[in-house]
């Protein structure tokens, strides 16, 4: 048994905690107020930007996971880097490997190409530039011998507990009622979606395999379909005729007048208006093909939403979270761990 410390218990972090517990490891789940309730894990609350706190909670760890995000898109440059630096300091003091959950923003528009880890960064927004700079800091720390780092990148989430992602409640919950699904961009473009249990399992692999350190990995994804094909499958399984509305640039600007946060999606709308295919062949070659078949993942997620809809909020199924994440975000947190 080894000791694993997971910063962030949102859409992915909670799955990491649950899977580590199931594997028999000693697990500490860290968030802002210590409210995580995963049986078998120790919950701790505190400020992830405080090196004294992160050093204390990471003491004795073999692996530390960074599954945090800033409190809002507009606050990424101010809030995100200090959290990563705080967790990095704690992991380095413990001599632990740091495993970081990342997204795909840094690449910028792929112009029809598959996304591969060797693509140069071409950030086209402040948020993307922030993530690119954070990744550079991590790789520099690894190269300098300060710490072992492994970075796992994932696309837009779906899965049990992922309610506010781009493929979340506006697709699965609406499918159960027969109302129109709400997505962005062009639903007839190929778009890779990452299944949160697979993302979590991939991060654990990066933490436990010696050869994983020192580089960026695209975490495993199942076959890529168009968003419309995904919606059609979910609605058929729910027993309703598929129906959807795709918000484009004008619609997002209009919605942004009353919901300013929605304007932030304009900066990454290219992910949904263009072909968005993730190449995970490097991961598969190194660690095997571990992605859950897409139909199985979609069906499991739909059943979670069905169960959640029938369950009081105070006793919702495992994985429920009020954190948000869309367009590849890792979940919503404040400056403190959450």
> Which pTM was predicted?
0.89
For residue 266, name the pLDDT band (cuts at 50, 70, 90).
low
The whole-number pLDDT of residue 166 equals: 85
Mean pLDDT, to the nearest integer, of 277-297?
97
The CATH number for 292's domain is 3.40.50.720
The whole-number pLDDT of residue 316 equals: 40
Percentage of the residues of the chain whose pLDDT score is greater than 70: 85
Q: Is 40 among the domain residues?
A: yes
Mean pLDDT, to the nearest integer, of 270-283?
94
Q: Is 36 among the domain residues?
A: yes
User: Which residues span the domain enclosing 223?
Assistant: 3-315
For the chain, what is the mean pLDDT? 88
- Residue 298 CA: distances (Å) to CA of 209, 237, 303: 28, 9, 9
Q: Is 266 among the domain residues?
A: yes
Q: Is 77 among the domain residues?
A: yes
Mean pLDDT, to the nearest integer, of 308-336?
44
**pLDDT for residue 256 is more than 50:** no
Residue for token pair 């990148």? 153
Mean pLDDT, to the nearest integer, of 5-20?
97
Q: Is 323 among the domain residues?
A: no
Q: Is 87 among the domain residues?
A: yes
Q: How far apart are CA 306 and CA 79, in angstroms?
A: 35
**pLDDT for residue 279 is more than 90:** yes
The whole-number pLDDT of residue 204 equals: 98
What does the DSSP 8-state code read for residue 37?
-
Question: pLDDT tens across 33-91, in order?
Answer: 888 789 999 999 999 999 999 999 999 999 999 999 887 767 888 899 999 999 999 99
Q: What is the DSSP string of 82-129?
A: HHHHHHHHHHHHHTPEEEEEE-SGGG---TTPPB-TTSPP---SHHHH
Position with higher pLDDT, 321 vs 262: 262
The whole-number pLDDT of residue 322 equals: 30
Q: Is 138 among the domain residues?
A: yes
Q: Is 329 among the domain residues?
A: no
Q: How far apart are CA 187 and CA 46, in angstroms?
A: 41
Position with higher pLDDT, 124 vs 327: 124
If one counts the domains in the chain, the total is 1
Lowest mean pLDDT among 97-111, 169-183, 300-314: 300-314
Task: Specify burial of residue 125 (Cβ count, 10 A radius: 0-12, 13-18, 19+).
Answer: middle
Mean pLDDT, to the nearest integer, of 236-241?
97
Mean pLDDT, to the nearest integer, of 205-220?
97
């Amino acid at each position: 048994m080894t000791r694993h410390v997971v910063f962030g218990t949102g859409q992915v972090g909670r799955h990491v905690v649950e899977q580590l517990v199931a594997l028999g490891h000693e697990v500490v789940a860290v968030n802002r107020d210590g409210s995580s309730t995963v049986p078998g894990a120790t919950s701790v609350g505190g400020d992830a930007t405080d090196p004294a706190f992160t050093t204390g909670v990471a003491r004795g760890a073999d692996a530390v996971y960074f599954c945090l995000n800033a409190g809002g898109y507009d606050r990424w440059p101010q809030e995100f880097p200090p959290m990563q630096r705080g967790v990095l300091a704690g992991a380095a003091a413990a001599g632990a490997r740091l495993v970081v959950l990342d997204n795909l923003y840094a690449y910028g528009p792929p112009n029809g190409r598959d996304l591969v880890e060797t693509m140069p960064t071409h950030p086209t927004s402040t948020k993307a530039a922030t993530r690119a700079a954070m990744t550079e800091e991590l790789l520099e720390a690894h190269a300098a011998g300060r710490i072992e780092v492994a970075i796992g990148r994932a696309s837009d989430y779906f899965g049990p507990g992922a309610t506010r992602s781009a493929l979340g409640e506006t697709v699965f919950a609406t499918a159960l009622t027969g109302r129109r699904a709400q997505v962005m961009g062009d639903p007839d473009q190929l778009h890779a979606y990452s299944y949160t249990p697979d993302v979590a399992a991939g991060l654990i692999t990066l933490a436990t395999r010696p050869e994983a350190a020192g580089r960026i990995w695209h975490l495993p994804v199942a076959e890529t379909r168009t968003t419309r094909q995904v919606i059609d499958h979910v609605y058929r399984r729910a027993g309703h005729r598929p129906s959807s509305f795709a918000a484009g640039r004008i619609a997002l600007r209009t919605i942004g007048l009353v919901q300013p946060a929605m304007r932030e999606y304009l900066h990454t709308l290219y992910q949904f208006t263009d072909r968005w295919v993730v190449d995970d062949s490097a991961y598969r070659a190194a660690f095997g093909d571990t992605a859950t078949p897409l139909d199985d993942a979609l069906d499991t997620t739909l059943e979670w939403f069905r169960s959640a809809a029938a369950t009081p909020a105070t006793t919702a199924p495992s994985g429920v979270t009020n954190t948000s994440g869309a367009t590849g975000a890792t979940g919503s947190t404040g400056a403190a761990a959450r």
